Structure 1
Amino acid sequence: MAKRIGAPAATSVSSSSSASGLRQPVRMSDVAQAAGVARVTVSRALNYPETLAPATLAKVLDTIRRLGYVPDLTAGSLASARSRIVGAIVPTLSNSWYADTMEGLAAVLGPSGYHLMLAQSNYHPRAEAGLVDAFLGRRVDAIVLTGVTRDRGVRGKLRKLGLPVIETWDLTDSPIDTVVGFSNTGAGQAVAAYFGSRARLRIGFIGAREERSLKRLAGLNRGLAALGAQPAHAELLHPPSSIALGAQAANSLLRKQPDIQGVFCSNDSLAAGALLECRRRGWDVPGRLAVIGFSDLAMAEASYPPLTTVRVQAREIGRQTAQALLRRFGGEPRARHQRILDVGFEIIERESA
């Protein structure tokens, strides 16, 4: 027997049960009837709330909550050609700097009625290409990528579609659409100059075999060459990074190159591992070996000794990415300066270097 929803008789709505006994979902027309408004008014309350009078909006939203109505986003996207979903691909969820970027992205998109759909590529270009296709199949309104080195087929496909695409965590002069990040190569050069200013020219590098880490290494070597020094001795690891991997890599590097004066790690987790290895050996930091990390995670300041690191505004990357998307969704013309958004970086000097 149908159960009566608690509402005034003139606007009551019944929820029916199917032959299987499962309760049927509340429809938009049910909300409209219960609220005493037209169906289009309910639609506007969900998609364009600013177009309704406050009293009307409050009445509709209260009815939605009371009835437990869940909007059919698929139907809405077919009607409006908008899914209000942004697809984002990150290499891994185990590194907090990518999580910070996603939080910054969601914090700006959410109040504007957009939802974030997140996927992990595990640093595999082929997996990333498949995820791009999966997002396109779900008719997302935009795609956010990590990094800028892409498969040519993926780049060509996204350019032809004209979908808003934001590449992040790096810079390029020729983005698919828009890029929000910083120069990884420039960061490496800045670290080389920092070491050079302290007369440390025999340098090691610990980092992952992935594009942004390798760009930091390339920048480091470019900076060392400008100082007349030899290229860095590199220990390259398979991502994702960890403190344990950092300690293992530091042990390997220091066995092969015991006379190096400094080591640049492509992230703070690896640098924390390098600090632990120095303590295990009884080496003074920075007297015997200077250590520099990358990202400025919370652990950097709490490390022993406190870690000198390259600070990157991970959350700001997410915020600026979301703001760029909202401008695109709003139809704002894309000026040349808006295609490349540089959030910059800075070296935070602490006791480890």
Structure 2
Amino acid sequence: MTASDGPIDLEDLTGKAATLDDVANRAGVSTATVSRFINNPTVVAKATAERIREAIAETGYIPNLLAGGLASSKSKMVAVLIPYLTDSIFNDTIQTMVEELSSAGTTVMLGLTGVSEARTEDLIRAAISRRVDAIIFTGPVTPNVEQMVRRSPALFIQVWDLPEDPIGIAVGFSHHAAGRDIARFLMSRGYRRPHVVTAQGARAQMRRNGFVDEWTASDGIAPTEAHVEVPSRFGHARRIFAEIRRLDHMPDVVVCGSDYLAQGVIVEALAAGLRVPEDIAVVGFGNSSIAGEMRPTITSVEVDGARIAREAIAAIRNRKGTALPPDRWIDVGFRLVARESA
């Protein structure tokens, strides 16, 4: 088929990876030209490079950059993709993964996706190009990511979440249930005017929904709310606390999406002459080291990040061929840790 024959029917490629021949046929060039473009795009004429680039996008072709070139061989490489490292709730998980995988002779490729879908897709593509044995992922799955991953033999592991239909396997917990249990805990402690601060991310939104659903169903009055960018951090607290002071009714508890934000709210409250938790209580999330060291110590939700890492590693080690494990959902649960701040 040549370029004039029209686009490749992607349905014909379902379940298998596009090949160098597919790209060459679509672009109307030789496979050698495609190879030269992949290795060094500047050596190919501009118009030709553009045709090849379009053909790669249309076919979904991902080059094999694994030394030796055999897609069936084990690369002993695992890609771990997270949004960010600063003030990250994923740090314990990442540290355990890197330590245990490295000790077993596996190379870990750590990628920071941020909140950009394009960057996420580029990193997924780069990982598959190097024929990694597994991709450990914490972000939202876009249609392009799903398409790439389903064509790859790499084991795709979604962590810190339990989607209804994971592409590969999922190791995490219910964020909706975590939000629900925070609401139940605060009600049992007598709080009545919560203010919920939610980061602009899918998991944080699920926790927010769990909290609001439970609170509204039990109390009948929706909590006041605010939103922050991801990642939520200490520095957001000044704006959040200023907004709280302008509310018609001062909340008696602030529910934060991270311990770092909770720490900032506590500092702002104390600076304003308020007592925590007597005048205003604060709840965090993640049970970071700061939660137990802050004064007052921070009530938070603990997730066993190290166990998430161990379960993901076990799935990689126990995998037979390209078949998925029989148990595609591993629920590690969570634990609410009550401390001085609430």
- Per-residue deviation, 1:95: 2.5
2:266 is matched with which residue?
Answer: 275
Distance 2:317 2:329 in 1: 16
1:165 is matched with which residue?
Answer: 156
1:65 is matched with which residue?
Answer: none
Distance 1:339 1:269 in 2: 32
Verify: 1:131 aligned to 2:131, yes or no.
no
Amino acid at match of 1:179: A
Residue among 321, 336, 339 paired with 1:347:
336
Change (3 A) 1:179 1:257: farther
Verify: 1:321 aligned to 2:312, yes or no.
yes
1:90 is matched with which residue?
Answer: 82
Q: Is the 8 A contact 1:220 1:232 kept in 2?
A: no
Verify: 1:110 aligned to 2:102, yes or no.
yes
| Other structure's SS at 1:179 match | strand
Distance 1:318 1:250 in 2: 35
| Other structure's SS at 1:100 match | helix
- Per-residue deviation, 1:76: 5.5
Verify: 1:289 aligned to 2:284, yes or no.
no
Distance 1:331 1:122 in 2: 32
Equivalent pairs counted in the alignment come to 278
User: Which residues of structure 2 form unaligned runs of 5+?
Assistant: 1-64
Q: Encode CA deviations 1:176-201: one digit per residue, 9 max, x unaligned.
A: 11001111111100000011112212
- Runs of 4+ in structure 1 off by over 4 angstroms are 330-335
Q: Encode CA deviations 1:317-342: one digit per residue, 9 max, x unaligned.
A: 112111111112x4496454x21011
1:122 is matched with which residue?
Answer: 114
1:251 is matched with which residue?
Answer: 242
Q: Is the 8 A contact 1:246 1:269 kept in 2?
A: no
Distance 2:72 2:109 in 1: 19
Verify: 1:153 aligned to 2:139, yes or no.
no
Residue correspondence of structure 1 range 200-211 to structure 2 within 5 A? 200-211=191-202
- Per-residue deviation, 1:231: 2.4
Bigger Rg, which one = 1
- Per-residue deviation, 1:304: 1.6
Amino acid at match of 1:300: A
1:48 is matched with which residue?
Answer: none
Change (3 A) 1:79 1:277: closer
2:135 is matched with which residue?
Answer: 143
| Other structure's SS at 1:75 match | coil
Q: TM-score under structure 1 normalisation?
A: 0.74
Change (3 A) 1:113 1:156: same
Distance 2:237 2:207 in 1: 16
- Per-residue deviation, 1:283: 1.2
Q: Is the 8 A contact 1:207 1:270 kept in 2?
A: no
What percentage of aligned pairs have identical amino acids? 31
Residue among 240, 243, 249 paired with 2:231:
240
Residue among 204, 211, 214 paired with 1:220:
211
Amino acid at match of 2:333: G
Q: Encode CA deviations 1:255-286: one digit per residue, 9 max, x unaligned.
A: 22542121110110000011011101111111
Q: Is the 8 A contact 2:184 2:214 kept in 1?
A: yes
Distance 1:154 1:251 in 2: 40
User: Which residues of structure 1 form unaligned runs of 5+?
Assistant: 1-72
Q: TM-score under structure 2 normalisation?
A: 0.76
Q: Encode CA deviations 1:31-51: one digit per residue, 9 max, x unaligned.
A: xxxxxxxxxxxxxxxxxxxxx
| Other structure's SS at 1:299 match | helix
- Per-residue deviation, 1:96: 4.0
Distance 1:209 1:268 in 2: 16
Change (3 A) 1:171 1:281: same
